Structure 1
Amino acid sequence: MLDQMHVTGLKGVGDKQAEKLAKLGLHVVQDLLFHLPHRYQDKTKITPLDQAIIGQEVLIEAQIKNQRLTQGRRPTLLVELEDSTGQSLALRFFHFQPTQVRKFKRGDSVRAFGELRTGLNGLEIVHPHYSVFSFDPPPLDNTLTPVYPTTEGLGQASLVKLIKQAIALLKQYPLAEGLNQAWLQNWQLPPINQALITLHQPQPSDDLGQIQRFEHPAQARLIVEELITQQLALQLMRQQQVQRLAPALAISRTAKTLLASLPFSLTSAQQRVWQEIVNDLKQTQPMQRLVQGDVGSGKTIIAALAALQAADMDYQVAIMAPTEILAEQHRNHFAEWLAPLNIEMAWLNGRLKAAEKREMLAKIASGEAKIAVGTHALFQDSVEFNRLGLVIIDEQHRFGVHQRLTLNQKAQSDQIKNFAPHQLTMTATPIPRTLAMTAYGDLDISVIDELPPGRLPVDTAVLGNQKRQEVMAHLYHACKEGVQAYWVCPLIDESELLDAQAAQTTFDEFNQLWPDMRVGLVHGRLKAAEKELIMQQFKAHQIDLLVATTVIEVGVNVPNASLMIIENAERLGLSQLHQLRGRVGRGAKKSHCVLLYQAPLSATAKARLQIMRQTNDGFVIAEEDLRIRGPGEVLGTRQTGGISLRIADIQRDEAWIEPAQQAAAQMLNQAKLPSKGTTGLVALLQQRWIGEKVEYKHA
């Protein structure tokens, strides 16, 4: 019932309020029940000021000694207090009414709650929740106060009232239990209704410390159910994929010809992954494989071999990359390898002239172009494939599920019902096992865990920005001796808001200091032809130093470049730093990376730079990146349109992931799955946790 009752059925909710609730994903009463507090305030006890910790929220009780208005750019109300320990505290109000000033009478007492800070004149709380009393103090709360995520125009008080209504309805109309009773007993977890009431209205008998640390069984109960639902969705995606038809692609003679012509041999890891792909492509169900390999491990040649296997069977291949530079690199590599084999290619990006675009679209629609390489332009409605049999997506975590779905739909065949192309996705960002199990559980995963022979590790130094001029001079002399280098800046132009050197400024500095130095500049605002020309000049060693923004993060391959300077490195994440460093160390020369930082450093930035100095291992770096940044940022936009976890946290709740995976498999084995959907508990959990977000299941 509560999963059908719209929020407008609650007291005080009209159409405008419903619109605000919808911004939080709250459409029906059940949604309010699963909109859990993101933290709790403890107003159950008074903290003496001599025991209070700066930076923490505290409830204090003290006597008013004085109140005054301070004059500045705007008046400020200061209420000076002293508690029973003799310690002083000021309550500071920047926004107040004249009547409020008169409330604070000398000799009365105040009970105030807020974050304790250090002000100009000692301890203070800014804009506290407070009550003033003369004799009898108000009663203390006997439980924690929930604090909910809100949105603009929807205050905390309004949300609390609505959730109280939802809890009252829950007691009348309990939710159906979504998990097996035996599992709940084995895991020592409460039923769903009890868990929800506990978390919205914790009682004095509950372990309040456990709740604040997110270790309470009621929280675990919801975490497990959400993780099981996510695993169900991933496993259902796999089942649906297995039921679809894809072209069986036999091993390609042309692929063997390309292998024989290469000036290098595949590593054993590349050979293993290639064999896994060959076996997948032979099947009449679509391949869903993710190939992960560290920077420079050789994923692109594997993609080319797979593309040839499709092209030889007269199917088309779509190769998609998130940036123009990376897409251009793929086009150049594929052209170099495939042109001698007479394989026709098409190239699509957002900057093609109208005539060029028409020509490319015609080649793709007619089937003349067997390989289509491009950026997001491949998603456009005007792109029609003749016989799409394989989709290759690079750095796929940067694309949303809707975009994957769009490419799949372009392969729909009138001749074959339920047709789907094979899909090969690649990433140079190694994925920690925990993240792979939750975010990529619908994919088979291959790992190229070996670098080509002769690759030397890159030495990394971390230097403060005061050494910048020294580094510039050292780089100039190195370039005069034949070294090629990158200098990466986070911004294109100067910004008053960010203390970061801009690429344009650095480019100008080098030209002014050393006019004889050959310096190039690449950034995202350049036209594609300009970028390509500069990259070709750099590759041909007609440029010594390439000053660039982070557009060169992935895909750029210039073996002679052996020096990388990353400015304002403290502003970049671990994964991005690792990708940038991976642009060097690709040739026979010993390579070096210098990370320049602007002091002072935050604890997080210090940790990141220390890790970069200590290791070149992408998997170690990926684990640390997950630990520091969390799964949301590491995943990027991959889960747009899919499941984004509401309560569970991949790192914090890692211990529950494997049990959830096993439980989901057991549920699906027991459930009867009609062709148009699932029934029973599986459907109940999907409706409860995913709701309308089911389109992703076809991606």
Structure 2
Amino acid sequence: MTENSLATMPVTTLRGVGTQLASKLARLGIATVQDLLFHLPLRYMDRTRITPIGALQPNSDVVIEGQLRGCDVVQGRRRSLMCRLQDHTGTVTLRFFHFSNAQRENLTRGGHLRCFGDVRRGRSGLELYHPEYQFLDQHQPPPLQPYLTAVYPAVEGISQARLRTVIEQALLLVSEDSLQELLPDSSELSLLESLQFIHKPPATAPMDQLLTGSHPAQQRLALEELLAHQLSLVQLRQQIQRHPAPSLGAGQALQQQFLTSLPFALTAAQLRVAADIMADLAKPHPMLRLVQGDVGSGKTVVAALAALQAVASGYQAAIMAPTEILAEQHRTNFQSWLEPLGIEVSLLTGKVKGKARERQLQMIGDGSARVVIGTHALFQEGVVFFRLGLTIVDEQHRFGVHQRLALREKGKGDVLPHQLIMTATPIPRTLAMSAYADLDCSTIDELPPGRTPVNTVVLAKNRRPEIIDHIRSACANGRQAYWVCTLIEESDVLEAQAAEATADELHLLLPELQIGLVHGRQKPAEKAATMERFKQGNIQLLVATTVIEVGVDVPNASLMIIEDPERLGLAQLHQLRGRVGRGKLESHCVLLYSPPLSKQGSERLSIMRQTNDGFRIAEKDLELRGPGEVLGTRQTGEMSLRIADLQRDSHLLPEVKRLARQLLETSPHTTNLIIQRWLGDGERYGQV
């Protein structure tokens, strides 16, 4: 049997896999036997030893054995079946919220059980909720598992036991001949040995290595997975750059006119990055450049210079923002900068409807709108550009790769627009090397003069009355303030309710202040009107959810209170804090937490107090939360890794880059096999 046959052998050839199970496996990206082999465990459970009931600890997975001492249906907030299991060391409760009459009748007093489950503190002491169990013949109990039990990523309708059964069948079909070694350098462990170990680690496996991902088998697979992602992104870049792009060589006179009209001079870092972009835009193949810079470093002005180069060369520029608030902010800035130069700026967001939308679409289509600003509405089907030469994606971490590629498709025919991607969430070097291998990277690494560092303090909620007094005093002196409400649940409704309740409370406590409210459930026009009143100084205190994270620029706002900051990631806290300190006023950010803080929560708030440096914060965020969160890819599916971890495995990245170069030069066929093995045909970052 060859690897190719494993890669094409459908899962339905395995025993017990019919069309229904196959369709559920397809939701996990599993179609073939090879896909099953590379569906890797998230973690392991130890079913290789029995734990005495008297030695149970909360929050641990255990195997226990004992005799049933009775089962009763208990009518509480939720009806449940509770059974008492006893061994010679103690007694524990088994609790079932979902049970049948047959199950209740089976679990009779005196029966002997072996159970596996998670120990929790419950109303009756230690409890196992819905444990797996089997009845025992006391004289001849079945043997314990000889290896650790894998726990796999799953979807509704597929149990872990079912997944293990089909993966075990796949492992029986594989051999050294059928699983080709694709890495040019031999490892101490073969690919087959690594996979067999990962799926079924022996009972003697070093659990500390498995938990930290440092076992040689995990590292062998992580290297190949990171290589697959790197190769896919580099291939994507090569494919894009084979297409022509408009050579945008004009614009120096218009850019100079623009720079002269600004009330400030650009920093050396802004000029350096602008020069990189100018050089790229003049080339006849597509620019693919990421510009990162800390909050307030002046990325928007650099984007305006790029847009002017496109306009002066006879093309349109499109700027995509993740929220309507940020799109409105960009429209305001670009209109004030470009309309005096005779350049029409258009806005297209979800709230632009009816006749107004038709008019905007016509201006975009006939080319009278030279600079087009919008949200994801820009890449909808009905939007046709006259002559798109440049796309600018702001706050790129809010968009998936596929979304930014969709905007690229708005070019005409085979000619692709240039692409500039911006982020104010600095990307740690390890991520930039791997997650953005398709992009050149420029960094605006200095802030404009006059930006005042924000003084950050961390206070417990019992200091709330002092904060209220501080707001009263600051606003009496002509300042403005933000009060940001956060929620653990990702629910617009609950978030809006929390913000409304806070606004009502602050109205009572600060009746002399004009207080505004902004949250995600409001109509866009209502949000925009409130933001405009705040900007004009007619609102002194703005109560908001995290919708104000990006794109709000009110220089007179010098105080921010973030309630329950421990619920947010560092990058988001840094972005929110960046809403103050935008003028010459001394600015403060108060992180008002609910004690007790977890160790990680304490670390996060501590780093915020210590530094305003977005790059240091980004590195710490990566360390604490992992790349899926930092990149925002949990939602976008941009870089979902099966076994590799960008932070943990960053030491592999130089080797990954070396292998990628070697394979692309010497073995393009192997390159495609590695990508196919790890990413499949449908999971590329983009097809051109």
Deviation of 1:127 after TM superposition, in Å, equals 4.0
Pairwise mapping of residues 192-591 of structure 1 onto structure 2 (< 5 A)? 192-203=191-202, 207=206, 210-250=209-249, 251-413=251-413, 418-490=414-486, 502-591=498-587
Q: Is contact 1:288-1:422 (8 Å) kept?
A: yes
Deviation of 1:331 after TM superposition, in Å, equals 0.6
Pairwise mapping of residues 63-78 of structure 1 onto structure 2 (< 5 A)? 64=67, 66-67=69-70, 69=72, 71-73=74-76, 74=79, 76-78=81-83
Pairwise mapping of residues 161-180 of structure 1 onto structure 2 (< 5 A)? 161-171=165-175, 174-180=178-184
Q: Is contact 1:4-1:28 (8 Å) kept?
A: yes
Q: Is contact 2:514-2:541 (8 Å) kept?
A: yes
- CA distance 1:496–1:483, shift in 2 (3 Å): closer
The C-alpha deviation readout for 1:141-178, integer Å capped at 9, x for no partner, is 32222232322111222222211221122149622221
Q: Is contact 2:628-2:634 (8 Å) kept?
A: no
Does residue 81 of structure 1 match 2:86? yes
Deviation of 1:352 after TM superposition, in Å, equals 1.5
The C-alpha deviation readout for 1:468-508, integer Å capped at 9, x for no partner, is 33322321222111111112223799999969973223333
Output the CA distance in 1 between the equivalents of 2:380 and 2:655. Answer: 41
Deviation of 1:191 after TM superposition, in Å, equals 2.0
Q: Is contact 2:555-2:580 (8 Å) kept?
A: yes
Paired residue secondary structure (2:359): helix
Deviation of 1:184 after TM superposition, in Å, equals 2.0
The C-alpha deviation readout for 1:332-390, integer Å capped at 9, x for no partner, is 11111111111111111111131111111111111111100111111111111111111
Picking from 172, 184, 187, the partner of 2:186 is 184
Aligned AA (1:682): T
Deviation of 1:316 after TM superposition, in Å, equals 0.5
Output the CA distance in 2 between the equivalents of 1:497 and 1:382. Answer: 31
Q: Is contact 1:56-1:116 (8 Å) kept?
A: yes
Aligned AA (2:622): L
Instruction: State the identity %.
Output: 52
Picking from 155, 158, 173, the partner of 1:154 is 158
Q: CA RMSD in A?
A: 2.8
TM-score normalised to structure 2 length: 0.92
Aligned AA (2:118): E
Deviation of 1:596 after TM superposition, in Å, equals 1.8
Question: Equivalent residue for 1:675?
Answer: none
- CA distance 1:82–1:543, shift in 2 (3 Å): same
The C-alpha deviation readout for 1:652-676, integer Å capped at 9, x for no partner, is 22221221111011100113xxxxx
Deviation of 1:27 after TM superposition, in Å, equals 0.7
- CA distance 1:123–1:370, shift in 2 (3 Å): closer
Output the CA distance in 2 between the equivalents of 1:390 and 1:546. Answer: 36
Output the CA distance in 1 between the equivalents of 2:125 and 2:338. Answer: 72
Q: Is contact 2:68-2:110 (8 Å) kept?
A: no
- CA distance 1:123–1:294, shift in 2 (3 Å): same
- CA distance 1:207–1:604, shift in 2 (3 Å): closer
Q: Is contact 2:638-2:685 (8 Å) kept?
A: yes
Question: Equivalent residue for 2:677?
Answer: 688
Residues paired across the two proteins, number? 676
- CA distance 1:139–1:9, shift in 2 (3 Å): closer
Question: Equivalent residue for 1:676?
Answer: none
Paired residue secondary structure (1:179): coil
Q: Is contact 1:642-1:694 (8 Å) kept?
A: no
- CA distance 1:130–1:532, shift in 2 (3 Å): same
Output the CA distance in 2 between the equivalents of 1:639 and 1:517. Answer: 39
Task: Give structure 1 stretches of 5+ with no counterpart.
Answer: 672-678
Aligned AA (2:145): D
Q: Is contact 1:491-1:500 (8 Å) kept?
A: no
Q: Is contact 2:68-2:113 (8 Å) kept?
A: no
Does residue 596 of structure 1 match 2:598? no
Q: Is contact 1:484-1:561 (8 Å) kept?
A: yes
Deviation of 1:562 after TM superposition, in Å, equals 0.6
TM-score normalised to structure 1 length: 0.90
Does residue 113 of structure 1 match 2:112? no
Deviation of 1:536 after TM superposition, in Å, equals 2.8
Paired residue secondary structure (2:642): coil
- CA distance 1:210–1:529, shift in 2 (3 Å): closer
Q: Is contact 1:399-1:638 (8 Å) kept?
A: no
The C-alpha deviation readout for 1:29-62, integer Å capped at 9, x for no partner, is 1111111222222222334566654422233455
Once the two structures are overlaid, the 10-residue window that deviates more, 286-295 or 497-506, is: 497-506
Question: Equivalent residue for 1:6?
Answer: 10
Task: Give structure 2 stretches of 5+ with no counterpart.
Answer: none
Once the two structures are overlaid, the 10-residue window that deviates more, 9-18 or 318-327, is: 9-18
Aligned AA (2:94): R
Once the two structures are overlaid, the 10-residue window that deviates more, 584-593 or 516-525, is: 516-525
- CA distance 1:71–1:287, shift in 2 (3 Å): closer
Q: Is contact 1:48-1:60 (8 Å) kept?
A: yes
Question: Equivalent residue for 2:26?
Answer: 22
Q: Is contact 1:490-1:568 (8 Å) kept?
A: yes
Once the two structures are overlaid, the 10-residue window that deviates more, 518-527 or 330-339, is: 518-527
Output the CA distance in 1 between the equivalents of 2:561 and 2:126. Answer: 44
Pairwise mapping of residues 621-640 of structure 1 onto structure 2 (< 5 A)? 621-637=617-633, 640=636
Deviation of 1:619 after TM superposition, in Å, equals 1.1
- CA distance 1:516–1:665, shift in 2 (3 Å): same
Does residue 100 of structure 1 match 2:106? yes
Question: Equivalent residue for 1:652?
Answer: 648
Aligned AA (2:36): L
Question: Equivalent residue for 2:142?
Answer: 138
